[in-house]
Amino acid sequence: MLDALLSALSLENLLLAFLGVVGGTIIGALPGLSATMAVAVLVPFTFTMDPSSGLIVLGAIYTGAIYGGAYSAILVNTPGTPAAIATSMDGFPMAKRGDGDLAVTLSCLGSVAGGLVGALALLLLAPPLSQIALSFGPVEYFWLAIFGLSLIATLSRGATLTGLIGGGIGLLLSCVGSAVVGGDVRYTFGQTSLLGGIPVIPALIGLYCVPVLIEMVIRPEAHLERRAEKMRGFRLIEALGLMWRSKFNVIRSAVIGTVVGIIPAAGGSVAGLVAYSEARRTAKKPEEFGKGAHDGVIASEASNSATVGGGFIPTLVLGIPGTPPDAIILGALLVQGIRTGPQLFTQQADIVFTFTFGLLIATLLMLPTGLIIGRYAYRLIVSVPKTALAPAIAFLTIVGAFAIEANTFHVFIMVALGIIGWLLARIGVEASPIVLGLILGPIAEAGFVQGWLIGGAQGDRLGMFFGQPISLAIIALTVLTLVSSGVFKRKTQLERPS
């Protein structure tokens, strides 16, 4: 292990990790250019490197890209990556009230803390944790998606029925195209372009970014409030104090991120939403969530960064990618001649441990890199006049929607959903429940249909859905979230002066 640590600390590997973090952060910050894309684009550059250095670069890019998504989530209400959806819920309100610099610093500290927990889990717990991941079947995925959807009640802030309509719209949007199981063609109205469904990233950009752009254009006041007295630094001491006060939130969110990262195909967006929901449920002042709560930003960032290390556990131990970028890294490993599996930790332990230490180092490098990039990103956004900011962001939304599949139809979908999202927001239907429905709908449907079929074949559908210990634990957590949300709303109504 000591040899692996020394190898990871070599000048070459340190430089590669630094460049990977910077490159990943910049790509992740651009709406539409996801962590998956960052890793996919830069994979070929690693083929000429030795395996451990190549892996370090890819891990560093991935780490940086997941964190970079927080910038645009906080500063322009557009998650740079899907993993940053929950970050925008409180990060943007913080930026609106003039605390964008604090939100950026908190997101950086949260990401570093979460990333370290994920990387340590990879170092210490890889083999046993990967066995737990294998016990997740379709029903567990279904309940996990339902748990994510229960967040609609939390996010609706006193308008649960309106939130449910938003969630229903999102779920119906997720049904467009070929069904995930069975192949039924649904709601395409004869358009072949819709056979693949509503593209998620363009939809996210449209629903989150275009309404902000329209509001920016129609309002005379500045996009973000600029507080001169708070523009002097990183607000690092203040952020560290807040982090210390929410240490349990950090640990819980990082553990959630690691565990969700281990579950194949769940990913950072699910981790962020689950951790955000838990942070709100256990908060002393849950009414502050959605209005700029520090704990919301910390929970989302700590959990989505923890998925990086967590996701590598099944990738390296079982050869099952935990997240989409892991799938690309798995392909790169195969090109390098590395065979993943339990034997990897015995036969090629030097590569695995060098990579793991490299991931830890890259996470630590994210602290100075992220703080410096974040500070200047915030200053730039609050200083630039609307006449420059609005066209630049509009252009980036077009680029982001187009770049994923080089498809102009995706650009049209992005703009159309953005305009619809703005109109819906005018009548009280927020974007978040729609996005939750759109992202979690396919997971819930696939899990439900597969569970239904398997349960039918076994002659025990009830047992299939309600008889597994993991399912029961997730159901209990969902009920707890809904009950606590209901109790909180009742308490707020009672406390409200008549």
Partner 1 sequence: MNRLIDQWRQAVVALLGICLGAFAISQTSAMSELGRVFPITASLISIAAGLGILAKIILAPQAETVPEERIDYLRAGLFAATMLIWALSLDRFGFVPTSACAVVVVAVISRREPMSKTSILFHAIAGVFLVVGFSFLLSEVLNVRLP
For the record, the structure tokens of 478 come out as 């969902």
Instruction: Provide the minimum distance between the beta carbon of 276 and partner 1 in the complex, in angstroms, as a whole number.
Output: 22
CA distance 78 to 133: 31
Instruction: Provide the minimum distance between the beta carbon of 406 and partner 1 in the complex, in angstroms, as a whole number.
Output: 5
Find the binder of partner 1 among 19, 132, 146, 181 (CB under 8 A). 181
For the record, the structure tokens of 308 come out as 């990086």
- Cβ proximity to partner 1: between 126 and 212 the closer is 212
Backbone angles phi, psi at 80, to 5 degrees: -60, -35
Total binding residues toward partner 1, as defined by CB under 8 A? 62
- Cβ proximity to partner 1: between 103 and 212 the closer is 212
CB-based contacts of 475-480 (< 8 A; 24+ apart in sequence): 475/143, 477/147, 478/143, 478/146, 478/147, 478/150, 480/281
Instruction: Provide the minimum distance between the beta carbon of 222 and partner 1 in the complex, in angstroms, as a whole number.
Output: 12
- CA 495 to the chain's CA centroid: 34
Segment 142 to 161, residues that bind partner 1, using CB under 8 A: 158, 161
- Cβ proximity to partner 1: between 19 and 41 the closer is 41
By CB under 8 A, residue 3 contacts partner 1:
no
By CB under 8 A, residue 419 contacts partner 1:
yes
Q: How many other CB atoms are found less than 10 A from the CB of residue 240? A: 13
Inter-CA distances, 388 with 156, 379, 381, 453, 482, Å: 33, 14, 10, 55, 43
Segment 441 to 470, residues that bind partner 1, using CB under 8 A: 441, 444-445, 448-449, 452-453
CA angle 312, 115, 30 (to 5 degrees): 90
Q: At what angle do helices 160-175 and 431-458 cross, to 10 degrees?
A: 60
Find the binder of partner 1 among 128, 241, 331, 428 (CB under 8 A). 428
Give me the residues paired with residue 177 across strands.
186
Q: How many other CB atoms are found less than 10 A from the CB of residue 179? A: 15
By CB under 8 A, residue 384 contacts partner 1:
no
Stretch (H or E) spanning 185: strand 185-186
By CB under 8 A, residue 394 contacts partner 1:
yes
Find the binder of partner 1 among 5, 132, 179, 364 (CB under 8 A). 179
By CB under 8 A, residue 494 contacts partner 1:
no
Segment 29 to 68, residues that bind partner 1, using CB under 8 A: 37, 41
- Cβ proximity to partner 1: between 237 and 388 the closer is 388
- Cβ proximity to partner 1: between 209 and 250 the closer is 209
Instruction: Provide the minimum distance between the beta carbon of 401 and partner 1 in the complex, in angstroms, as a whole number.
Output: 8
State the residue for tokens 């974007």.
431
Work out whether the CA dihedral 325, 327, 329, 332 comes out positive or negative.
negative
By CB under 8 A, residue 28 contacts partner 1:
no
Instruction: Provide the minimum distance between the beta carbon of 143 and partner 1 in the complex, in angstroms, as a whole number.
Output: 15
Find the binder of partner 1 among 48, 190, 192, 220 (CB under 8 A). 220
Find the binder of partner 1 among 287, 412, 475, 480 (CB under 8 A). 412
- Cβ proximity to partner 1: between 175 and 271 the closer is 175
Q: What is the DSSP string of 31-57?
A: TT--HHHHHHHHHHHHTTS-HHHHHHH
Find the binder of partner 1 among 171, 194, 203, 344 (CB under 8 A). 171
Find the binder of partner 1 among 57, 75, 112, 210 (CB under 8 A). 210
Instruction: Provide the minimum distance between the beta carbon of 404 and partner 1 in the complex, in angstroms, as a whole number.
Output: 9
- Cβ proximity to partner 1: between 116 and 443 the closer is 443
- Cβ proximity to partner 1: between 345 and 402 the closer is 402
Find the binder of partner 1 among 408, 466, 491, 492 (CB under 8 A). 408
Contact 339, 287 (CB under 8 A): no
- CB crowding 468-487: b at 16 or more within 10 Å, else e: beebeebbebbeebbebbee
Find the binder of partner 1 among 386, 454, 461, 480 (CB under 8 A). 386
Contact 302, 272 (CB under 8 A): no
Backbone angles phi, psi at 233, to 5 degrees: -170, -160
Residue 178 gets which letter from DSSP? E
Q: Which amino acid is at 62?
A: Y
By CB under 8 A, residue 392 contacts partner 1:
yes
Summarize as ranges the residues that interact with partner 1 (CB under 8 A): 37, 41, 158, 161-162, 164-165, 167-169, 171-172, 175, 179, 181-182, 184, 186-187, 210, 213-214, 216-220, 386-388, 390-392, 394-396, 398-399, 402-403, 406, 408, 411-412, 414-416, 418-419, 422, 426-429, 437, 441, 444-445, 448-449, 452-453
